[in-house]
Amino acid sequence: MPPGQDLLRVALAQINPTVGDIDGNARKIADRIAEARDRSAALVVFPELALSGYPPEDLLLKTSFLERAAAALEELAAQTRGIVALVGFPQRAEDVYNAAAVLADGEVAGVYRKMYLPNYGVFDEQRYFQSGAEAGIFELNGIPIGITVCEDIWEPGPPAMTEALAGAQMIVNLSASPYRIGYGHGRERMLVQRAVDNLAAVVFVNTVGGQDELVFDGHSLAVDQDGRVLARCPQFEESLTLCTIDPREVGSARLRDTRHRANVRRQRRAAPVAEPPAVHLASLEVEGGGKTVGGATAELLGPEAEVYTALRTGLRDYVDKNGFEHVLLALSGGIDSALVAMIAVDALGPERVTCVSMPSPYSSAGTQADARAIAENLGVAFREIPIAEAMESYAEMLSDAFAGREPDIAEENIQARIRGNVVMALSNKFGWLVLATGNKSELSVGYATLYGDMAGGFAVIKDVFKGWVYRLVRWRNEQEGRELVPVSVLERPPSAELRHEQRDDDSLPPYEILDAILAGYVEEDLDAVELVRRGLPADDVERAIGMVDRAEYKRRQAPPGIKISTKAFGRDRRLPITNRFEARAEAQQRRLRALR
Amino acid sequence: MPPGQDLLRVALAQINPTVGDIDGNARKIADRIAEARDRSAALVVFPELALSGYPPEDLLLKTSFLERAAAALEELAAQTRGIVALVGFPQRAEDVYNAAAVLADGEVAGVYRKMYLPNYGVFDEQRYFQSGAEAGIFELNGIPIGITVCEDIWEPGPPAMTEALAGAQMIVNLSASPYRIGYGHGRERMLVQRAVDNLAAVVFVNTVGGQDELVFDGHSLAVDQDGRVLARCPQFEESLTLCTIDPREVGSARLRDTRHRANVRRQRRAAPVAEPPAVHLASLEVEGGGKTVGGATAELLGPEAEVYTALRTGLRDYVDKNGFEHVLLALSGGIDSALVAMIAVDALGPERVTCVSMPSPYSSAGTQADARAIAENLGVAFREIPIAEAMESYAEMLSDAFAGREPDIAEENIQARIRGNVVMALSNKFGWLVLATGNKSELSVGYATLYGDMAGGFAVIKDVFKGWVYRLVRWRNEQEGRELVPVSVLERPPSAELRHEQRDDDSLPPYEILDAILAGYVEEDLDAVELVRRGLPADDVERAIGMVDRAEYKRRQAPPGIKISTKAFGRDRRLPITNRFEARAEAQQRRLRALR
């Protein structure tokens, strides 16, 4: 560390890009660069693939897309003066890289290429990218700074370790790390530990906002070499958060720390040819600096607020980024559609939401009254369209074909699909987006009608178990200080109301048990034996697992919705429809019997 | 090569496994092993992952699945006597491998692990597998045989080259190589060249049959060291084809060939520590042998027969492997549903197919008569269910909501969705699978109604462009020697008949042009400029591309269907819905204008 080193003022540019909108994202990046310079930052850091949005998926197979990104990066570089910007972009070279550009003095001063390419869960990065081969350091005002991209920093070793041992006093990480419940705490813990292990400041900048099934929670961080959180951006909101870091402190800590010195020696022995072994990208000088160490530190949201905000953000961005003015949903008077209506109003405002109630002869007076009350409490447009006559016309159309058959699930599904047709007709007529209202518990076991209540462009709570649905409605009511959703909705036994006196627990285990089974089977890939060992009833386990397996074909045609769990249906869980593997098969049955 | 070496009789066991049905697949494998032994084979080769079926997708994340596969492999090995069997299976070791087991003498004598893991197109193997590190050779009756799995042999270098230079006289390849139009010819060319380049016999065994969106075409091959095809299994059918190979010929060729000798020296210099560098798995002896070199050689199908058989096979296996007794489709009198009905009858027999015609006031007498004629020609059950009254009941239900609005696409879609509801009601009542009848041209540009004509469990021709639809119907009529589908269906201008006098070319470019645009944009990821350079009209290009981009949300909810092209919608083409990248954007517009 050179003597007399100044404080370094860093701007964490937690932005919400739109996938594919390279021009719009570039404008947003340019604005933040200007703002950061105005606020005396020497360095401004953007998220992973900020220029293209994340994930661009198969847009990365289009030459024209990669060319446009390259041109936009050059234009951005030309505008970057008096500050250094780190911008994530897809780099087309002899292959394609998930890269971070160092922009300074009107040029691209260096490029770091992501080394670890995740290819699990929702990630398919090995489909698109070549992995980078080398760690990367640039010097800013004499301070060596190491670059990493997302997955790179989840590894305790290289490239962050390599960079730190080669002298980097700060490790920067550009991320697009998708939200799931409670994940932010573990991520913050990991980043704090990386800072401590590397005796370096860590600056982590995550993207924010919704992209199809994913929502990014932001929660960008600056941490010092002792693991103290110096700055934290809010979750789920765009933010340009400034933080001042004292690189002298890193230097002092390293003078005191014998472990670090020994590790440096080990690294030099391992890679004796290059000292430092990391690639030096550039040596840059700019004005800018802070006076006191630290920055603004947002509070983390509680669990219900966090999940609710994730859903609100994911819905808002799906609607706005796809250019919809208005949304529509079927409000049954049940708890699921009540929650979706609440989220829609909080995301878009009541004037952009229409609710429609479509009572049949099986709809109770109670649920109808509740539907009206919810719409009124939320201040949304509300329309009632009874479907009894349409039901009769189907009964007549099908009377020959169904002659001699008892009413069964076919008639129940006809009702649900009449409602699906009505909401889609309103959608087509007025250009509104239809929100589907099914929850994860139902979707797991197939307790939903394809093209009926599953119809819609976006399924807001498809990754929310029933237990969480109640929790979120109760929490939101409490926040409001009044019953936005009447307590009768919370207390009535759940029912699809597709026949007289129907109740969900006629067909399904109680939701407390069902949710626990599903969490184990769907999210953790456990089998029946493992679930029973957790104390779940064997009969319920077997029945629920069978239902999950048989409903795969329905889920394949479900609308996209927001991932909030470890494993959401959709790109996260990829099971064949044609699949004769049964977690209930012979050998399993024997083991299960032994457990009873 | 030891002197006096005998002929080697190899059985190519081209089987049709079912994903997840480990017990059923193991029984099928055991039966084929016994049959091959009875027919004097010394070696029997099965496809890639024959034991689990391919692709098992996220079943590979389940411990119980991997354990069941391991147990089944042990059971199979215990039954393998008097013959050597090569069986593809997922191996759980310290990680998971896509592996080939050498079964002999009641034991697993060795395991080869796939080195090249495809992670493009429909493949996600890097999501599941660790790659193998070493080539693998075993000796059978003194003959060194190299093992490769699928993608491995697409590489001209190692592992096949390593094995051949280390002495392997035959290279065996276990594959699960999905069908696409004309692909088999290129694959055969590649395999012939590998044999010639390596101066080794090549035995390639591919899986056969349908699995969700994929269909495997078999077309297994044995090729000698001079590139002569010694045996070829039929396309799309299970087969146990025997082929006798003379390893002395390989030896003789290598005595004559200086290039091979020089390459061996080079390889020894490159890997001086091990000679041969490939891992020796086992040295085995069994009885069995042939008298004359060669085997049965199936003829390849012509283009129409090939595509038609792919569709017939994919449909048959989706229906049968998922346990459906009967299928149902809406027969409009148009060409698309006519083709689907033909394929269904050829796949399942007429007694397992019901067609339903659902005329509206916009249905012409001609199409209605044609629908009846097609059903009669095919010998299927046929039912007419007019929808006019249901249309009226929707008009009434929605009269308030639609007050003051002109009829538009909303009313058209209501009709399509009434039909969707009717076919789904029949499906729910009788347990029949609904076949959707849309083609790729329509699905590309979104000229289809979500939950309407797109409704169904399986979309047989979703990857078939309109031009090919005509080609296949004409071909099938010719095969039959009579008009199974009346010529009026072939000659009538395409129409959705959702309003009076509607024609597809009111809204779309002519299909010859549309199909060419879509082939370039969808399958080759070209942009507008590149398409115009190919001679396509700029206006049509821009319009079609815009329609493709905007219809992504519909395709996301489409039923699965059979991939026959380079790039099918579904797992093969992964584009975001929220996507503001336009191939028509500003810079493109300028370039396009310059081309006009």
Return d(Cα A492, Cα A528) in angstroms, integer: 31
Closest CB to A581 among B65, B553, B588: B65
Return d(Cα A124, Cα B124) in angstroms, integer: 8
User: B325 with B349: CB under 8 angstroms?
Assistant: no
Lowest mean pLDDT among A248-262, A272-286, A385-399, B347-361: A272-286
Preceding amide of B276 cis, omega within 30: yes
The answer on pLDDT for A555 being more than 50 is yes
Which DSSP symbol is given to B7? P
Contact B580 A19 (CB under 8 A): yes
Q: Which residues on A lie below 8 Å from B63 (Cβ)?
A: 525, 527
The answer on pLDDT for A277 being more than 70 is no
pLDDT score, position A297: 95
Contact A64 B580 (CB under 8 A): no
Average pLDDT, chain B: 93
Together in a domain, B268 and B328:
no
Together in a domain, B150 and B272:
yes
Residue of A28, A125, A150, A213 marked active site = A150
Q: What three-state secondary structure class fits B330?
A: strand
Query: Quick one: what percent of chain A has pLDDT higher than 90?
Result: 84
Q: What three-state secondary structure class fits B171?
A: strand
Looking only at the bridges linking them, the beta strands covering A294-295 and A239-245 are: antiparallel
Query: Is A180 inside a domain boundary?
Result: yes
Contact A451 B420 (CB under 8 A): yes
pLDDT, mean of residues B217-241 = 97
Together in a domain, A466 and A338:
yes
Contact B578 A18 (CB under 8 A): yes
Helices (H), A133-215: 151-154, 160-165, 183-198
* Single residue among B243, B271, B295 that ends a domain in this structure: B295
Together in a domain, B145 and B108:
yes
Q: Is A150 a catalytic residue?
A: yes
Q: What three-state secondary structure class fits A12?
A: strand
* Residue B239 in tokens: 């087969």
**Residue B588: CB atoms within 10 Å:** 18
* Single residue among B295, B316, B341 that ends a domain in this structure: B295
Closest CB to B421 among A64, A120, A418: A418
Report the chain B residue with the minimal C-alpha distance to residue A450: B451
Closest CB to A451 among B126, B393, B424: B424
Q: Which residues on A lie below 8 Å from B414 (Cβ)?
A: 421, 425
**How does pLDDT run across A20-62, given as a tens digit for each residue?**
999 999 999 999 999 999 999 999 999 999 999 999 999 999 9
Contact B428 A410 (CB under 8 A): yes
DSSP code per residue over B505-571 = HHHS--HHHHHHHHIIIIIH---HHHHHHTT--HHHHHHHHHHHHHTHHHHHTSPPB---SSS-SBT
The answer on pLDDT for A115 being more than 60 is yes
pLDDT, mean of residues B423-427 = 98
Query: Is A120 inside a domain boundary?
Result: yes
Q: Which residues on A lie below 8 Å from B408 (Cβ)?
A: 428-429
Q: Provide the residue range defining the domain that includes B236.
A: 8-295
Name the maximum alpha-carbon separation found in chain B. Answer: 93
Return d(Cα A487, Cα A483) in angstroms, integer: 7
> B117 falls in which pLDDT band (50, 70, 90)?
very high
Query: Is B3 inside a domain boundary?
Result: no
Contact A560 B556 (CB under 8 A): yes
User: A390 with A415: CB under 8 angstroms?
Assistant: no
Contact A393 B397 (CB under 8 A): no
pLDDT, mean of residues B265-283 = 69
Q: Is A62 a catalytic residue?
A: no
> B412 falls in which pLDDT band (50, 70, 90)?
very high
Distance in angstroms between the alpha carbons of the first and the last residue of chain A: 67
Q: What is the ipTM of this complex?
A: 0.93
Report the chain A residue with the minimal C-alpha distance to residue B64: A527
Beta-carbon contacts of residue B501 (< 8 Å; ≥ 6 apart): none
Distance from CA of A154 to the nearest CA of B (A): 18
pLDDT score, position A570: 87
pLDDT, mean of residues A540-567 = 95
The answer on pLDDT for B585 being more than 70 is no
> B4 falls in which pLDDT band (50, 70, 90)?
very low
- Please give the C-alpha separations between residue B412 and each of A153, B131, B548, in angstroms, as whole numbers: 53, 52, 20
Which DSSP symbol is given to B172? E
> B289 falls in which pLDDT band (50, 70, 90)?
confident
Contact B62 A583 (CB under 8 A): yes
Per residue, what are the HEC states of B61-130? HCHHHHHHHHHHHHHHHHHCCCCEEEEEEEEECCCEEEEEEEEECCEEEEEEECCCCCCCCCCCHHHCCC
Together in a domain, B568 and B448:
yes
Helix (H) / strand (E) element for A71: namely helix A63-79
pLDDT, mean of residues B334-341 = 97
How many residues are recorded in chain B? 596
Q: Higher pLDDT residue, B193 or B6?
A: B193
pLDDT, mean of residues A392-406 = 96
> B290 falls in which pLDDT band (50, 70, 90)?
confident
Query: Quick one: what percent of chain A has pLDDT higher than 70?
Result: 96
Together in a domain, B80 and B144:
yes
Report the chain A residue with the minimal C-alpha distance to residue B359: A397
Taking each continuous run of H as one helix and of E as one strand, the counts in chain B are 22, 21
**How does pLDDT run across A129-181, given as a tens digit for each residue?**
999 999 999 999 999 999 999 999 999 999 999 999 999 999 999 999 999 99
Its pTM stands at 0.94
Identity of the residue numbered B335: I
Query: Is A2 inside a domain boundary?
Result: no
pLDDT score, position A259: 84
Closest CB to A581 among B59, B317, B383: B59
**What's chain A's Rg over C-alpha atoms?**
27
Report the chain B residue with the minimal C-alpha distance to residue A323: B578
Together in a domain, A484 and A526:
yes
Distance from CA of A528 to the nearest CA of B (A): 10
> A475 falls in which pLDDT band (50, 70, 90)?
very high
Query: Is A260 inside a domain boundary?
Result: yes
Alpha carbon of residue A263 to chain centroid: 37
Beta-carbon contacts of residue A228 (< 8 Å; ≥ 6 apart): none
pLDDT score, position B587: 62
Report the chain A residue with the minimal C-alpha distance to residue B432: A410
Closest CA to B221 of B201, B238, B247: B201
User: A169 with A10: CB under 8 angstroms?
Assistant: no
Together in a domain, A51 and A192:
yes
Number of domains in chain A: 2
Distance from CA of A390 to the nearest CA of B (A): 5
Residue of A48, A163, A306, A542 marked active site = A48
pLDDT, mean of residues B460-485 = 97
Contact B581 A389 (CB under 8 A): no
Residue with tokens 């896509």: B98
Together in a domain, B140 and B21:
yes
**What's chain B's Rg over C-alpha atoms?**
27
pLDDT score, position A266: 82
B355: phi then psi, degrees, rounded to nearest 5: -110, 140
The neighbouring-strand residues paired with B381 are B354
Distance from CA of A575 to the nearest CA of B (A): 5
Helix (H) / strand (E) element for A206: namely strand A201-206
Closest CB to A451 among B68, B451, B553: B451
What dihedral angle (degrees, nearest 10) is formed by the CA atoms of A276, A279, A283, A284?
-130
Residue with tokens 């050689």: B297
Q: Which residues on A lie below 8 Å from B574 (Cβ)?
A: 57-58, 124, 127
> A571 falls in which pLDDT band (50, 70, 90)?
confident
Return d(Cα A548, Cα B416) in angstroms, integer: 30
Closest CB to A21 among B397, B580, B587: B580
pLDDT score, position B2: 42
* Single residue among B295, B319, B344 that ends a domain in this structure: B295
- Please give the C-alpha separations between residue B228 and each of B113, B193, B469, in angstroms, as whole numbers: 28, 10, 36
pLDDT, mean of residues B511-533 = 93
Query: Quick one: what percent of chain B has pLDDT higher than 90?
Result: 84
Return d(Cα B180, Cα B241) in angstroms, integer: 23
The neighbouring-strand residues paired with B353 are B327
Query: Is B2 inside a domain boundary?
Result: no
> A2 falls in which pLDDT band (50, 70, 90)?
very low
The answer on pLDDT for A438 being more than 60 is yes
Size of interface A-B (CB pairs under 8 A): 257
Contact B321 A578 (CB under 8 A): yes
Query: Is B300 inside a domain boundary?
Result: no
The neighbouring-strand residues paired with A89 are A99
Query: Is A407 inside a domain boundary?
Result: yes
Residue of A28, A114, A462, A466 marked active site = A114
Report the chain A residue with the minimal C-alpha distance to residue B428: A410
Per residue, what are the HEC states of B348-416? HCHHHEEEEECCCCCCCHHHHHHHHHHHHHHCCEEEECCCHHHHHHHHHHCCCCCCCCCCCHHHHHHHH
Contact A18 B322 (CB under 8 A): no
Together in a domain, B280 and B313:
no
Return d(Cα A415, Cα A419) in angstroms, integer: 6
Which DSSP symbol is given to A215? E
Contact B62 A525 (CB under 8 A): yes
The answer on pLDDT for B564 being more than 90 is yes
What are the residue numbers of the active site of B?
48, 114, 150
What dihedral angle (degrees, nearest 10) is formed by the CA atoms of B285, B286, B288, B292?
-20
Query: Quick one: what percent of chain B has pLDDT higher than 70?
Result: 96
Contact A71 B322 (CB under 8 A): no
Q: What is the CATH number of the domain that holds B173?
A: 3.60.110.10
Beta-carbon contacts of residue A387 (< 8 Å; ≥ 6 apart): A358, A359, A360, A415, A418, A419, A422, B397
Closest CB to B389 among A64, A397, A529: A397
- Please give the C-alpha separations between residue A199 and each of A144, A191, A258, B509, B562, in angstroms, as whole numbers: 13, 12, 11, 64, 55
Contact A59 B579 (CB under 8 A): yes
Together in a domain, B291 and B313:
no
Which DSSP symbol is given to A235? B
Distance from CA of A409 to the nearest CA of B (A): 7
> B26 falls in which pLDDT band (50, 70, 90)?
very high
Return d(Cα B335, Cα B471) in angstroms, integer: 11
Q: What is the CATH number of the domain that holds A435?
A: 3.40.50.620
Closest CB to A401 among B400, B426, B529: B426
User: B414 with A411: CB under 8 angstroms?
Assistant: no
Together in a domain, A87 and A189:
yes
pLDDT score, position B260: 84
pLDDT score, position A5: 55
The answer on pLDDT for A109 being more than 80 is yes
